[in-house]
Chain A
């Protein structure tokens, strides 16, 4: 029994209210903490500046993984949810927490265990003896960023409790629906399904994650650097928020306005359609995947300070956004073909949209 059912044992609470009390962002937090309120993220340049700051903050904790960091940031700006899958100890949770901390917003962390119940996530209605009425005690899901650690250790029932929150951004408990405050992002980590004591995420659950990334082992140099950085104290502790939740909301607005040419939209559709017809795939990507792909491509282009989406963006994102939703056929599994390979091959083969003639 590693984790209790309630309380701080599975929740590392960072309620917004407690936030200003943290060192470095206290008092003048508004002025200086989530720095640069003056350059609002309402335009592309502002977005890039803020994004750069977040990226810098995260990378101060996670060395040598710029791509993973960028993808995480992309998912944040695309209003998506992120699944980080890798073997234990490569910094999945670290990335999730670093991203959560660099933005000044409410962060909750849930450690998933096999005996975790759905109500442990969404919250419960408890009878208040004094008031003689039922009182809703919000679960950890009521936060801007929810870090779900080792999500595939929980039973499917609990996993699916996240379904409604993730897609509809609301929680229904005892017939009452509670809306979640934007930005809302679930960052989950999971071990590869082959590991012991894991329940594979159901397809429906996986489909709700915008992207799945894996950290990979750091390079020797990065690992050495990490040893130095983590020698004294955790760099996570030194991390201060560099952006505010409202900044993120504005950034999301900017991303929504990104231009996606018709041909690029078509390209995304072609790509997704190709996964559905691929002979090695039992299950192709859903229309939701198309939506996520284009959204993520918008954010990805915005991080590049571009106000239009390129097929390159779609190509870059195809594997993280699509691969975790696909189910290979039995033959492909026997041949050890992974969906990542299939998607990469499709990207290599699908012609980019070009003007006619």
Chain B
């Protein structure tokens, strides 16, 4: 039957279900969940009562759960109000469907419509069945934590703030209680302890301090207590260690989204690149959206995605972290990164997305949006200003976008030097396996260009004009890094994806922060101010970062009839026109490198890369994937080394302190009997015994460090005799050892204090230490130096107080059920 375990398992499930609170508005779900847990527990109990095989255990639990759910949610359709009938079952299925769609429609906290309540109760109930099966029937309490943890993962995944620590603590305590109860049952099953032999620590041998409140427990109780201590310790380690260890912001297991906080949800959308190809090759020329714009310069591209990671094969975006704080809700969006100097003008765009568009969870908006008005739960990704939704689709919606359109001049771009460190680390990362030909190609194509802008212009020019590329939609989408190599070096046939990806990659090779943007070109104008974007306008283009201008679009894809029909090359990226405002000082001619503002730059090495050197001491090209940086690892290594050195330092400090206390001259206290019962010598008062105690402790620490056995029941002379015999010490160290022991003996037990001067004792300690070191093996010797166990013991004893208190707390927690029962 295992009623006790059943109860504990049910309580643990309930306590963990508290963690679901961020998901729901209101608290009614908890009570339905409680009832579901009770039903599952009863099912399990009945099956155990009937002594059915373990397989049937969950079936009984699920059956009981179904009965409850039927009674609670489909009583009208059910026989007798709780026996499931086909009608009630279909009603429940409908309810589940409603709940599912509601869960997808609303962001957490979800209003508690009946479908949601049903789903919550069913989910909690299923977890309860699993926990009951694992912990009670199969007696595997530890794996029972997995379904419990699964419950936590739901709110943690949906909400950025995740679960508050009190809720987590409740669940953790409940799980611990489950483990403890299990350990107790298991040990209890062994019956009476066979041997009456007891361990040393159970004897009241601690001298004058018998542990207060010491209770005599059964042997099983002691084991359970140690189990509790272990459990408590492991939880403490599991919780505290990650805080102390420097880990990569992305997280050890690649979790943690874009490295911005925990509890992020990864937005799963169809691979943007795949959908791009599909849209481009669609035969029907369906309208994706229409928009009106007040931009006098003609509309800019509409961007859906910003792909910031190149993994060696293809471009993707970093996982998005999402929280309620990112919701648009009519607020002004974060300022576009890097845009400070370049002239801007504000553009308002009214977009109407066609009703036939499905699954458009990213909004096409002109860069850089500052304000988006749209219904539904839409969020912004702060770094890239992508607008996306976790639950809604843009299909059929109308929205208004206010955006800042930057009009950088060629001079602005040319003058941009240096990048913020985070931009460099994130947007110039190139995998190591990039073939050297591409690196060489990037250098060759941009040879002679002195500024980032000149390099970018040269690249764009090479792609569109001089490189001999052909726009060809029939080429397969690049799947691997080799496809890009093939495109760049051999076939030179491709469509916007290849062009954009290649240019962004080459820009990164050259040290220019870049990413691939995806979305739509401006489309075609149907009437003044009104534009239509069709599926064939889907496009990909590189965005390069220039300090002061932010992310700037380039257009390496050929445009016009032989290319992407509606693609437009931005003015600032054209080599000849220079933007008309200032003379273009960045002409991509070798002569331009002699310009006065770049006189110090070598023609071969782009100066902007030198500029970034200070901020980017580690070459991003060495890194494996986007945003990887070696600094945390080095810091972690240093920290590990420091941690390893702690025992050594601790030992040295202790040694210093012991002798330093003696530097004050001893005051004659000989003859006076020690006032204290235990100590013999009161703390902190230096007297003749101080040196002896210090020498003795030092010697003991040395013995421990060298792995020599030290028995607490040995008196000084017994210890000295034993060590001398054990190590077969020579005469000199043996005498030194004897002197130390005798001084300590006198200091501890005699009326008169030893008269040995500290210096002599110190020398003796040194002699003895050398003798210890000489008589043990090399390993023990090094351990004594580097990892002295005495220092560890010291730290342990310091921790012991804390540990005892924690263990006491655990004891009390474990006793709680008993106490409650007694009442």
Contacts and interface: CB of A to CB of B under 8 A. Distances in A.
Interface of A: 259, 261-264, 266-267, 270, 273-274, 277-280, 307-312, 315, 331, 346-357
A357 B683 contact: yes
B715 A308 contact: no
B132 interface: no
Contacts of A262: 673-674, 676-678, 680
Interface stretch (B328-336, B580-588, B747-755): B747-755
List 10 A-B pairs, minimum CB-CB distance, nearest first. A351-B712, A308-B750, A356-B679, A261-B749, A311-B715, A259-B751, A352-B715, A312-B715, A355-B679, A277-B204
Contacts of A311: 715, 749
B714 A352 contact: yes
A307 B750 CA distance: 8
Contact of B713 (A264, A307, A331, A352): A352
Nearest to B697: A357
Contacts of B196: 279-280, 331
A355 B748 contact: yes
17 contacts: A261-B749, A262-B674, A262-B678, A262-B680, A263-B677, A270-B205, A270-B208, A273-B204, A307-B750, A310-B745, A312-B717, A315-B715, A348-B713, A350-B207, A355-B681, A355-B747, A357-B683
Nearest to A270: B207
Nearest to B677: A262
Interface string B730-765: 000000000000000111111100000000000000
A257 to B, nearest CB: 10
A250 B204 CA distance: 39
B742 to A, nearest CB: 11
Given A280-B196, A312-B717, A352-B712, A261 B208 contact: no
Contact of B205 (A259, A263, A350, A356): A350
A46 B785 CA distance: 50
Contacts of A263: 674, 677-680, 748-749
B528 interface: no
A203 B426 CA distance: 87
Contact of A351 (B207, B680, B747, B748): B207
B208 A266 contact: yes
B490 interface: no
A303 B204 CA distance: 32
Interface in B194-241: 196, 198, 200, 203-205, 207-208
Contacts of B746: 308
A354 B741 CA distance: 12
Contacts of B28: none
Given A266-B207, A356-B678, 12 more contacts: A261-B748, A261-B750, A262-B673, A266-B678, A270-B205, A273-B204, A310-B745, A346-B205, A349-B200, A353-B678, A356-B683, A357-B683
B489 interface: no
A346 to B, nearest CB: 8
Given A263-B678, A263-B749, A266-B677, A355 B689 contact: yes
Contact of B680 (A261, A274, A312): A261
Nearest to B206: A351
B779 interface: no
Contacts of B677: 262-263, 266
Given A262-B674, A310-B717, A351 B205 contact: yes
B711 interface: yes
A353 B748 contact: yes
A66 to B, nearest CB: 18
A351 B715 CA distance: 9
B330 to A, nearest CB: 67
A266 B715 CA distance: 14
A311 B748 CA distance: 10
A115 B353 CA distance: 124
A319 to B, nearest CB: 14
A282 to B, nearest CB: 13
Interface of B: 196, 198, 200, 203-205, 207-208, 673-674, 676-681, 683, 689, 693, 711-715, 717-718, 745-751
A350 B210 CA distance: 13
Given A261-B674, A355-B679, A279 B207 contact: no
A315 B205 CA distance: 15
A353 B680 contact: yes
Contacts of B693: 355
Contact of A264 (B203, B205, B718, B749): B749
A184 B80 CA distance: 99
A351 B713 contact: yes
A312 B744 CA distance: 14
Contact of A274 (B204, B673, B683, B711): B204
A346 B711 CA distance: 13
Contacts of A259: 750-751
A274 B673 CA distance: 26
Nearest to A331: B196
Nearest to B681: A355
Nearest to A352: B715
A266 B678 CA distance: 7
Q: Which of A273, A280, A311 has the most CB of B within 10 A?
A: A311
Contacts of A280: 196
A348 to B, nearest CB: 5
Given A274-B205, A347-B713, A309 B683 contact: no
Contacts of B673: 261-262
A274 B200 CA distance: 12
Nearest to B719: A352
A278 B677 CA distance: 24
A291 to B, nearest CB: 18
A303 to B, nearest CB: 16
A244 B775 CA distance: 52
Best-surrounded residue of A278, A315, A352, A356 (most CB of chain B within 10 A): A352
A308 B689 CA distance: 15
Contacts of A356: 676, 678-679, 683
A337 B207 CA distance: 24
A308 B203 contact: no
Contacts of A354: 748
B584 to A, nearest CB: 80
**Residue of B198, B689, B749, B750 most packed against chain A (CB within 10 A):** B749
B748 A349 contact: no
Contacts of B200: 349
A270 B203 CA distance: 11
Contacts of A261: 673-674, 680, 748-750
A112 B681 CA distance: 52
Contacts of B711: 348
A355 B678 CA distance: 7
A274 B681 CA distance: 25
Contact of B203 (A267, A274, A347, A355): A274
Given A266-B208, A278-B203, A348-B713, A308 B679 contact: no
Given A262-B673, A355-B679, A356-B683, A312 B205 contact: no
Contacts of B674: 261-263
Contacts of B745: 310
B203 A349 contact: yes
Scoring B207, B677, B678, B681 by chain A CB atoms within 10 A of each residue's CB, the highest score goes to B207
Contacts of A310: 715, 717, 745, 749
A346 B207 CA distance: 12
A290 to B, nearest CB: 14
A279 B200 CA distance: 12
A273 B713 CA distance: 16
Contacts of B748: 261, 263, 353-355
Given A261-B749, A262-B673, A350 B713 contact: yes
Contacts of B712: 351-352
A310 B207 CA distance: 16
Contacts of A357: 683
Given A261-B674, A263-B749, A310-B749, A353 B203 contact: no
A277 B678 CA distance: 21
B277 to A, nearest CB: 76
